[in-house]
Amino acid sequence: MAQYRRAGAAVAVIRLHNAPVNALSSAVVQALAQGVKKADLDPSVKAVVICGANGKFSAGADIRTFSSLQPRDRPALAETVSLIERSQKPVVAAIEGVALGGGLEVALGCHYRIAHAQARVGFPEVLLGILPAAEGTQRLPRLIGIPAALDLITTGRHVLAAEALKLGIIDEIVKENTVERAIELASKVSGQPLGPRKISLKPVPDLPDMEAILSEALVKVKRKARGRLSPEMCIQAIKAAVQLPFAEGVEKERELFRFLLGSGQAKAQQYAFFAERAVEKWTMPSGTSWKTASAQPIRKAAVIGLGTMGRGIVTSLVKAKMLVVALEQDQKQLDIGREAVTSLLQWEASKMQQSGQSQDICDPARLQFTLDFGALRDVDLVIEAVFEDMALKKEIFRKLSTICKPEAFLCTNTSALDIDEIAAVTSHPHQVIGTHFFSPAHVMKLLEVIRGHHTSPTTIATAMSLAKTLNKVGVLVGNCFGFVGNRMMAPYVEQAIFLLEEGCKPEEVDQAVEGFGFHMGPFRMLDLAGLDVGWRSRKGQGLTGPKLAPGTPARQRESRRYSPLPDFLCEQGRYGQKAGKGWYLYEKPGGRTANPDPWLYNFLSEYRETHGIKARFVDQEEILERCLYALINEGFQILADRIASAPEDIDVIYIYGYGWPTHRGGPMFHASTVGLPHVLSRLQKYSEAHPDIPKLQPSPFLKKLVALGSPPLREWVSHVRQPSSKL
Ligand code: HSC
Ligand code: NAD
């Protein structure tokens, strides 16, 4: 747990040992404290070095133990950090790999800190719904000042050693032999006065406008937090460092930590942390899994189509140091695509420069633009991102099948289309897979990986490994229209539009959803994505447009309720932001400020009058429940169909692809939190009121879980009927 050894005559080395990341479990903390006490009591020891096994200092407190933590517990870690600082002998932290959260707090208790050039430090607690609770909120501001401490503690961002040195978090960077160098330093400084090295004894560096800095920071984090409590509590703790003596500041930190720990948000965010790691360990019903399938190396990739998605995908691949061939259909589109990719790469390079990273990873020399499919002969993997048109996609895959080398992986970025139908036109359907990126593709962390009927385990492993290489989170799902994310989005958007028919304004629906924590409500989201996208899809399905059978009632399709509202908007050229008008009015085409539109209010009133709909007041609760529970209901059906293999998969997709607020843990976690009987009863109520909306009728799987007494979320999939498997 923590190994104690002597290095030379006078230095004791304490090595934290808890694979894989040296998390500070109570056993590790206890062993660390014993080591420090032992060194203190041994007169032959003149100095101490603390380091971590396996090239990592420590990733902080053991998150798995938080659920069993009693709110009244006094963190033993904080006491150990104080113990280190109080030591009569100099203690040097030798930081390799990571010193995060409690790991950094241990390092701040030390009198000196040396880090390897590749090491990262930070306080990511805020992302887990808590705050640094082993005196970190009191020591860091004393060491690096309030503005920098506010930034690190409220964002949770990791900083590389170079930036940490600049900020004053560490004293020295080394390129190799970190522990040896720390031992040398420890020997050198032994006997020197320690007072000036004890951070808790330092005052917080004073600034004339301290009050203003703190209040501006509070306004900023509140605006961004969308209901998350931890960033605001971090500021309160930092404020305590400014206003109170160290010991009282520590008391305040503990009080805030206890509050956050009991808030429910911490539980949701920690669930999300482990869910993200769980989805990486995919398994198929056949038993094949990440353990047995091996990914193939991808050195050279191609992207077909450089529109909204293709340009972001190219940027991601170049950033990951791959050779990339970017292909378009004509010179004009190729030039537009080249310009867009170049500017995205420049933007990425400037971001990297700011954070002290090497910019050569955005090297455009690795990129070839072409109109010639022949340039794809030697690529290891192709990602097709042309228009959402099955005939076109098939034509492209037919071509790829003859041109690419036989072992090349063929991926489609389709948002909803059938992977099997696309794969069927190739001679290697087992090498075809869906890789559904999210817009903007160089920013969004999610990659929905869709397995077709014939897709091989190697192809899956390669696509999942590609996600990791691109610094994204890959989630493996089954093949159905819309897969997981867009399939669940459909009933959510449908409810939002029905609510407009019944009496709401777009901004009322958006405000309710944004109040829940979403970055954007459904109407702002639709305007951003472009209303024409859905219109084209509905025309393709014969729900509107020339394929619609004459005499079809305006608000009904096959006995189901249908709203032609979005079709009418598209007929008026109101395609959303790009047209300067959609559900909202924008300052200009491409404008971003959504303003309520009086034209739309009139239009809605006339529409209701035409169709004999009496507008009614719909409260926030009904807006939220109808939108969110329709989405969650589809999630239960997706689990029953085995399109997603666990609720965690759905939750990760929604957090990283659709802006579901992390502090609500994802839609399925949210359902488990509010209680399955509650979700069921509300769906029953709404479906009775709207019997013509099938998506409000509770999923049989949700009913089954309720009948079984609402087992905990981790047990849900064990109740799925196996023969219905589509995975
Ligand atoms: C904290 O430190 C609070 C303090 O202020 C003290 C509070 C006082 C009260 C304490 C009372 C107890 N714990 O990500 P990977 C697992 S809060 C437990 O795949 P990578 C992870 O689940 C903590 N487990 O690897 C996975 O397990 P699996 C603040 C942890 O190389 C395995 O390690 N620290 C863990 O891609 C590998 O992880 C953080 O938030 C932890 N702290 O990334 C850091 N950290 O194999 C969180 C990881 O079973 N960790 N695991 O699936 C990370 O950001 C990333 O894991 C790293 C490594 C960047 C460390
Ligand atoms: P887009 O219209 O912006 O771009 C498509 C590009 O494909 C155009 O530049 C076009 O010139 C090019 N193209 C068309 N035919 C081609 C051919 N034969 N050869 C080479 N290039 C050709 O479309 P988009 O929004 O980037 O969508 C692309 C795909 O990604 C679609 O399947 C879409 O459903 C999916 N998708 C889109 C989003 C989104 O938010 N836009 C999100 C996820 C997935």
State the pLDDT at residue 339. Answer: 96
By most ligand atoms within 8 Å of CB, the mutation choice from 16, 18, 21 for ligand 1 is 21
Q: Is the CB of 97 under 6 A from ligand 1?
A: no
State the pLDDT at residue 288. Answer: 85
pLDDT in tens, 87-124: 999 999 999 999 999 999 999 999 999 999 999 999 99
Q: What is the mean pLDDT of residues 328-356?
A: 91
Q: Does 594 share its domain with 702?
A: no
Q: Is the CB of 133 under 6 A from ligand 1?
A: yes
CA 93 to chain centre: 31
Q: Does 603 share its domain with 637?
A: no
Q: Does 627 share its domain with 576?
A: no
State in Å: Cα 49 to ligand 1 middle.
23
User: How far is Cα 293 from Cα 451, in angstroms, rounded to an integer?
Assistant: 14
State in Å: Cα 642 to ligand 2 middle.
29
User: How far is Cα 614 from Cα 6, in angstroms, rounded to an integer?
Assistant: 83
Residue 280 placed within a domain? no
State the pLDDT at residue 62. Answer: 95
Token pair recorded at residue 177: 């032999």
CATH code: domain of residue 516? 1.10.1040.10
216 torsion bin: left (phi>0), alpha (psi -120 to 50), beta (else): alpha
DSSP classification of residue 439: S
User: How far is Cα 421 from Cα 423, in angstroms, rounded to an integer?
Assistant: 6
User: How far is Cα 696 from Cα 688, in angstroms, rounded to an integer?
Assistant: 9
State the pLDDT at residue 119. Answer: 98
The three-state secondary structure class of 476 is strand
Residue 324 pairs with which residues in a beta bridge? 301, 367
pLDDT-derived band at 287 (thresholds 50, 70, 90) equals confident
pLDDT in tens, 405-431: 999 999 999 999 999 999 999 999 999
Q: Does 627 share its domain with 606?
A: no
Which residue has 């209010």 as its token pair?
601
pLDDT-derived band at 724 (thresholds 50, 70, 90) equals very low
- Give the residue whose CA is nearest to atom 27 of ligand 1: 277
Q: What is the mean pLDDT of residues 430-457?
A: 96
- Give the residue whose CA is nearest to atom 22 of ligand 1: 274
φ/ψ of 93, rounded to 5, equals -90, 130
Q: Does 200 share its domain with 75?
A: yes
Q: What whole-number percentage of the chain has pLDDT above 70?
A: 98
Structural domain harbouring 536: 504-610
State in Å: Cα 306 to ligand 2 middle.
7
In ligand 1, the atom with minimum distance to the C-alpha of 277 is 52
pLDDT in tens, 493-525: 999 999 999 999 999 999 999 999 999 999 999
- Give the residue whose CA is nearest to atom 19 of ligand 2: 329
User: How far is Cα 565 from Cα 390, in angstroms, rounded to an integer?
Assistant: 26
In ligand 2, the atom with minimum distance to the C-alpha of 388 is 32
Residue 590 CB partners (closer than 8 Å, separation 6+): 577, 578, 580
- pLDDT above 70 (res 723): no
State in Å: Cα 453 to ligand 2 middle.
24
State the pLDDT at residue 725. Answer: 44
Residue type (1 letter), 621: E
**Rg of the Cα atoms in the chain:** 28
State in Å: Cα 66 to ligand 2 middle.
45
Q: Does 457 share its domain with 556?
A: no
By most ligand atoms within 8 Å of CB, the mutation choice from 57, 63, 464 for ligand 1 is 63
CA 431 to chain centre: 28
pLDDT in tens, 198-245: 999 999 999 999 999 999 999 999 999 999 999 999 999 999 999 999
Q: Does 315 share its domain with 427?
A: yes
User: CA torsion sign, 251 to 21 to 26 to 7?
Assistant: negative
State in Å: Cα 266 to ligand 1 middle.
14
In ligand 2, the atom with minimum distance to the C-alpha of 389 is 32
Residue 68 CB partners (closer than 8 Å, separation 6+): none
Q: Does 444 share its domain with 517?
A: no
Q: Does 392 share its domain with 456?
A: yes
pLDDT in tens, 353-377: 776 677 677 787 899 999 999 999 9
Q: Does 118 share its domain with 200?
A: yes
Report the catalytic residues: 105, 125
User: How far is Cα 537 from Cα 267, in angstroms, rounded to an integer?
Assistant: 39
Residue 67 placed within a domain? yes
Residue 268 placed within a domain? no
How many beta carbons lie within 10 A of that of residue 687, not counting itself? 18
Residue type (1 letter), 350: S
State the pLDDT at residue 157. Answer: 96
| Average per-residue pLDDT for the chain | 95
Asked which of 610, 639, 654 is the last residue of a domain, the reply is: 610
- Tally of domains in the chain: 4
State the pLDDT at residue 540. Answer: 86
In ligand 2, the atom with minimum distance to the C-alpha of 336 is 9
User: Do 74 and 82 form a contact (C-beta atoms < 8 A)?
Assistant: no
Whether the ipTM is more than 0.85: the answer is yes
User: How far is Cα 18 from Cα 53, in angstroms, rounded to an integer?
Assistant: 8
CATH code: domain of residue 400? 3.40.50.720
- Give the residue whose CA is nearest to atom 37 of ligand 1: 20
pLDDT-derived band at 652 (thresholds 50, 70, 90) equals very high
Which ligand is located closest to the Cα atom of residue 416? 2
DSSP classification of residue 48: E
Q: CB within 6 Å of ligand 2 — which residues?
A: 304-310, 327-329, 333, 385-388, 392, 396, 413-415, 436-439, 529
pLDDT-derived band at 283 (thresholds 50, 70, 90) equals confident
State the pLDDT at residue 362. Answer: 72
Peptide linkage before 20 cis (omega within 30 of 0): yes
Q: Is the CB of 61 under 6 A from ligand 1?
A: yes
Q: What whole-number percentage of the chain has pLDDT above 90?
A: 91
State the pLDDT at residue 364. Answer: 79
Token pair recorded at residue 112: 């000196």
State in Å: Cα 309 to ligand 2 middle.
6
Which ligand is located closest to the Cα atom of residue 279? 1
User: How far is Cα 267 from Cα 261, in angstroms, rounded to an integer?
Assistant: 8
